Amino acid sequence: MTVQNPHDKFFRESFGRADIARNYLEEYIRTILYYLSRATERVKREDLQQALLRQGAQGEQTMTTIAQEYIQEGIKLGIEQGIEQGIEQGIEQGIEQGIKQGKLEEKRNIARQLLKLLDVAKVSDITGLPIAEVKALQKTANGR
C-alpha cells in the first residue's frame, strides 16, 4: 500500500515503532481513566482501582500516576484554602487592632479634655490610662 498523504506517512512511521505506540496508548488510557474518574459519579475511585489492578504492573503504574495527580490537586486546594483562611484571619485581626487603637485614641482625647478640669490622678482613674501617659498628654497639651 502506498502512502500519499504526509500525515498518514508520519502516523505509520511513528506508530510503526512499538515503543512509541505503547507510550502513546498508555498516556491515552491514563488520560481517559483520569477524566472518567472526574467526569461522572458512576465511576468510583474503587472501581477504577480494581480495573487498573487487573491490568498488572502497567495498571499499577497508571494508578500511581493518577494518585499523584489527586495528591497534587489536594495540595493545591489545601494551599488555596490556607491562603483564603489566612486572609480572613488577617482582616479580622486588622479590624480588632483598629478598634483597639481607636478606643485608646478616644481615651487619650477624653483625658486631654479632662486635664483642663481635673488633676492627673483623677484623669488616670476615669480613663484607665496609666499616670505616666496622662502626664505625657499633659506635657504635650501645655507645650502647645
Domain that holds residue 63: 44-142
Global model pTM greater than 0.75: no
Question: Looking at residue 43, what DSSP letter applies?
Answer: S
* pLDDT, tens digit, 9 for 90 and up, residues 96-132: 999 999 999 999 999 999 999 999 999 999 999 999 9
Looking at the domain assignment, is residue 110 inside a domain?
yes
Looking at the domain assignment, is residue 38 inside a domain?
no
Looking at the domain assignment, is residue 36 inside a domain?
no
Looking at the domain assignment, is residue 37 inside a domain?
no
Residue 59 CA to residue 52 CA, distance in Å, equals: 4
Residue 78 CA to residue 76 CA, distance in Å, equals: 5
* pLDDT, tens digit, 9 for 90 and up, residues 16-28: 777 777 777 677 7
> Residue 113 corresponds to which amino acid?
Q
